[in-house]
Structure 1
Amino acid sequence: MAQERLTKTVVDKLDPGAKDYFAWCGKLSGFGVRVWPNGKKTFVVQYRAGGRGAPTRRKSLGTFGVVTVDQARKAAEDYLASAHLGNDLVGAERKVRAEMTVSQLCDEYIEHGMDTKKASTVKTDKGRINAHIRPLLGKKKISAVTRQDIERFLSDVAKGKTARDKRTSKGRSIVTGGKGTATRTARLLGGIFTYAVNQGYLEANPRKGVKLYKDGSKDRFLNRDEIDRLLQTLEEAETIGLPWELREDAKAKHRPKEENLREVLSPHVTGAIRLLLLTGCRLREILHLRWEEIDFERGFLLLPDSKTGRKTVYLSDVAVEVLRDIPRVSSYVIAGSQQDKPRSDLKRPWQRITRHAQLENLRLHDLRHTFASIAVEQNMSLYMVGKLLGHKSPETTARYAHLARDPIQRGINEIGEMIRGKPKS
């Protein structure tokens, strides 16, 4: 790309690529813009203060659209002029930053370090920061945090030191501990310290070398009998309804009337569960699905946004039939209580359904695993399974490789039979 003076028109025309890249101004050396894969553009200044042996300094000057090109250029000129006199403003700023607390680092990470994360991930990360990281490490200077501190943090979260149950203005808030929570939060903490290293606040990441607990989550795959029980329960739920389970200690006046001993579930609920099983989609992909994103003629879901970006979901004829049977009462396929908003979850009806189907501890996400397991057992390659699930990395799909053992065994048996030949009469 030929270097030219950076102007609003030039920056506007910079297209994102598969990786981030820099476009430098041809008139002011050291002034440029960083273009991210998600389309975000950040102005930067880069220089060496004190000659060739001095470290390269780079500083973000603001996001294009929030900061103008002229404003960023003026800030870059100030940094470059100071560097020309031998002053290292960025280095001085970083020394001050190195004295920030973990809580202050978290604030900066939330503002500048989450740009490429999905909104749902940002929400989860903020929850872990406020529930675990700030209470245990928030007041500590980032330059004083050691590997031993991270190991102690991991142990404290696992033991439930930060667990709590409290009432908020929006309802009940439950914060849990456990080894799984500890491992996931420690990984987030490592990412926050990686941000600090990349910004030059620290020389090394204190999370490096800390041995984490195994996540402990197990993939569950429904067998044929369990799938049949689930489908039968869904049929019952949307027709005659599921029976109530009455509490023995409930007072008579609080018991439902005899004619209300069954509850019929919405076809949007049962339809959503069928679609999760038939498509392998993630829960939010189905709950946020709009009618306009369905191509009935070609059998596609054209999702504009998912955990891995834009995604095409291939539909079986059965899945298309399920979609056609769902009543259209909202712009969202799975209608919620509010016309213009997607349904938030399926927790309550899912508990009723799994309890009646005798599928205790079955998660909605296990339906995605079941879809993948059936695909593998039908001799579909892991590459194709990854395509169906929308995986970006083959390593993610490799978790299902062990399910292909039976087809391989059948194949090796056929080879053995061919070698052995027909028995002599």
Structure 2
Amino acid sequence: MDRQRITKKVVESLKPGASEYTLWDSDLSGYGIRVRPNGAMSYIAVYRAGHGRKAPVRKLTLCAVGKITPDEARSLARKALGSAAHGQDPAAEKAASCQSMTVSELAEAFLAEHVEPKRKAKTVEGYRHAIRSHVVPEIGTVKADQLTRAAVTKLHLKLKDRPSAANYVLAVVGSMYGFGQRCGYVPEGHNPAERIDRYAEQSRERFLTSAELTRLGEAMREAETVGLPWELDAHKPKSKHAPRVENRRTVFAPSAVAAVRLLLLTGCRLREILNLQWSYIDFERGMLFIPDSKTGRKPVVLNAASLAILGALPQDGLYVVPGNDPKRPRHDLQRIWSSLTRRAQLQGVRLHDLRHTFASVGAADGLGLPIVGKLLGHAQAATTARYAHLDNDPVRRASERISSKIQSALNQSTALNG
């Protein structure tokens, strides 16, 4: 590739190729940008550690692209190249200073410099828990550049009773060392989490049957009208002052029950519904525009059933499902969901399984995975996926067919015990 002066505009124009390549700066010899096939880019400086053609060539990673400007990187490169011209070896000095970094220190740098600025809050929480609950207690004091695959395998093996958690921790360690390499905290190619076999994980997906949907529908109607019955704990000191059996019922807020219905009828994720604001809803076009979902901005087709639910709720505040403080969204649905699943006699069903149920009804009805994926807002490789809401006629028909089947099952009536 021809030399160019490395500027912000040039950096933004670089694209990954089939193999790694380097764009060299036209103004400062030895200063360049390394571009890897996976899209990772780093500012680098290349020099000879010594005098003469027989002196070994060193490559110093200055910083990942995006953390500093091209001019700041050029200043670092000029300083490093100047040191090399005076007989020093900046790469060796950096490696020597990194030898004192422990896994714990690398982990904290990973969280502060990469995870927290670039990942969503839920992902940050998961990474932080994996690192501080499993990685640091077991291998935190080991020198980062001396951590072995055997030690990481031992950590992975310790969590074998929880294969999903074990695999997640392994992935976090791998990502942490990838970050360490890009920033020069650990030597190139040193990733002790590589080539460790993952545990087989059982699918956690659970689909509700028509009979289960019928029982859930009746439990929800009971929850928002007469209330769901609750059992008395006879061991509690104040149990003798509890209400009579016929009065032991809890009526749940209409917005909480509505949230459960919306999860089932739209296929949305839990946080997408709980954080839903009235301003995101376009009743006229029957659309929901979520500005920041797991996969970015997400348009959702609102079928007739979901529009009816939203239309029946009072628009008293900012959020569709408000918490105790009307200025903040409801935190979770665990209490009502536990009560509903107990009343409807549903075993092993999570709230997220309502999303799986929505998808399964569509797939089983022959709608095709591309349409179902579009309804769920799955990320697509094609850049035109961001304009999916402009071509939603077939998607709307699919959503109506799914919701009509679910609504029919919910509206059937069976006798619940109690």
State whether structure 2 residue 285 is matched by structure 1 residue 285.
Answer: no
**What are the within-5 Å matches in structure 2 for residues 280-319 of structure 1?**
280-319=267-306
Task: Please point out which of 157, 172, 175 is paired with 1:188.
Answer: 172
**What are the within-5 Å matches in structure 2 for residues 16-415 of structure 1?**
27-28=27-28, 45-50=43-48, 54-60=57-63, 74-85=75-86, 87-114=88-115, 115-158=117-160, 178-200=162-184, 201-202=186-187, 203-251=189-237, 253=239, 255-258=241-244, 260-392=247-379
How many residue pairs get aligned? The number is: 364
In structure 2, the residue matched to 1:165 is: none
- Indicate the larger mover: 373-382 or 149-158: 149-158
Cα deviation for residue 31 of structure 1 reads: 6.2
CA distance in 2, matches of 1:298, 1:16: 38
Q: What SS does structure 1 have at the residue aligned with 2:289?
A: strand
CA distance in 2, matches of 1:281, 1:312: 11
- Indicate the larger mover: 256-265 or 102-111: 256-265
Residues 15 and 45 of structure 1: is their aligned pair in 2 closer, same or farther, counting only changes over 3 Å?
Answer: closer
CA distance in 2, matches of 1:247, 1:205: 53
Q: Is the CA contact 2:25–2:32 (under 8 Å) kept in the aligned structure 1?
A: yes
Cα deviation for residue 342 of structure 1 reads: 1.9
Residues 32 and 111 of structure 1: is their aligned pair in 2 closer, same or farther, counting only changes over 3 Å?
Answer: farther
Q: TM-score, normalised by structure 2?
A: 0.77
Query: What are the superposed Cα offsets for residues 191-240 of structure 1, whole Å, 9 maximum, x if unpaired?
Result: 21222333441333212222222233421000111111111111110111
Q: TM-score, normalised by structure 1?
A: 0.75
Which of structures 1 and 2 has the larger relative contact order (alpha carbons within 8 angstroms, sep 6+)? 2
Tell me the C-alpha RMSD between the 2 structures: 3.4
Q: What SS does structure 2 have at the residue aligned with 1:310?
A: strand
Cα deviation for residue 79 of structure 1 reads: 2.4
CA distance in 1, matches of 2:311, 2:30: 58
Can you give the 5+ residue segments of structure 2 that lack an aligned partner in the other structure? 36-40, 382-418
CA distance in 2, matches of 1:32, 1:303: 40
Residues 243 and 19 of structure 1: is their aligned pair in 2 closer, same or farther, counting only changes over 3 Å?
Answer: farther
Query: What are the superposed Cα offsets for residues 353-372 of structure 1, whole Å, 9 maximum, x if unpaired?
Result: 11011112210000010011
Q: Is the CA contact 1:61–1:75 (under 8 Å) kept in the aligned structure 2?
A: no
2:94 maps to a residue whose letter is E
Query: What are the superposed Cα offsets for residues 34-69 of structure 1, whole Å, 9 maximum, x if unpaired?
Result: 99xxxxxx9x642211179724332128966xx677
Residues 23 and 261 of structure 1: is their aligned pair in 2 closer, same or farther, counting only changes over 3 Å?
Answer: farther
Q: Is the CA contact 1:31–1:45 (under 8 Å) kept in the aligned structure 2?
A: yes
CA distance in 2, matches of 1:105, 1:53: 29
CA distance in 2, matches of 1:113, 1:306: 20
In structure 2, the residue matched to 1:412 is: none
Cα deviation for residue 86 of structure 1 reads: 5.4
2:313 maps to a residue whose letter is I
CA distance in 2, matches of 1:267, 1:288: 16
Cα deviation for residue 273 of structure 1 reads: 0.6
In structure 1, the residue matched to 2:399 is: none
Cα deviation for residue 383 of structure 1 reads: 1.2
CA distance in 1, matches of 2:354, 2:64: 46
Percent identity between matched residues is 36
Cα deviation for residue 83 of structure 1 reads: 3.9
1:184 maps to a residue whose letter is Y
CA distance in 2, matches of 1:57, 1:126: 30
2:120 maps to a residue whose letter is K
Q: Is the CA contact 1:30–1:45 (under 8 Å) kept in the aligned structure 2?
A: no
Residues 25 and 340 of structure 1: is their aligned pair in 2 closer, same or farther, counting only changes over 3 Å?
Answer: farther
Residues 227 and 60 of structure 1: is their aligned pair in 2 closer, same or farther, counting only changes over 3 Å?
Answer: same
In structure 2, the residue matched to 1:421 is: none
Query: What are the superposed Cα offsets for residues 73-126 of structure 1, whole Å, 9 maximum, x if unpaired?
Result: 544432232244454424421332244211011011112232432221011110
Q: Is the CA contact 2:45–2:77 (under 8 Å) kept in the aligned structure 1?
A: no
Q: Is the CA contact 2:6–2:25 (under 8 Å) kept in the aligned structure 1?
A: yes
Residues 313 and 85 of structure 1: is their aligned pair in 2 closer, same or farther, counting only changes over 3 Å?
Answer: farther
Q: What SS does structure 2 have at the residue aligned with 1:303?
A: strand
Residues 25 and 318 of structure 1: is their aligned pair in 2 closer, same or farther, counting only changes over 3 Å?
Answer: farther
Can you give the 5+ residue segments of structure 1 that lack an aligned partner in the other structure? 36-41, 160-177, 395-425
Q: Is the CA contact 1:287–1:343 (under 8 Å) kept in the aligned structure 2?
A: yes
Q: Is the CA contact 2:64–2:182 (under 8 Å) kept in the aligned structure 1?
A: no
Q: Is the CA contact 1:100–1:142 (under 8 Å) kept in the aligned structure 2?
A: yes
CA distance in 1, matches of 2:197, 2:178: 17
CA distance in 1, matches of 2:320, 2:220: 18
Query: What are the superposed Cα offsets for residues 144-203 of structure 1, whole Å, 9 maximum, x if unpaired?
Result: 3222211211122345xxxxxxxxxxxxxxxxxx33222211221122122233344133
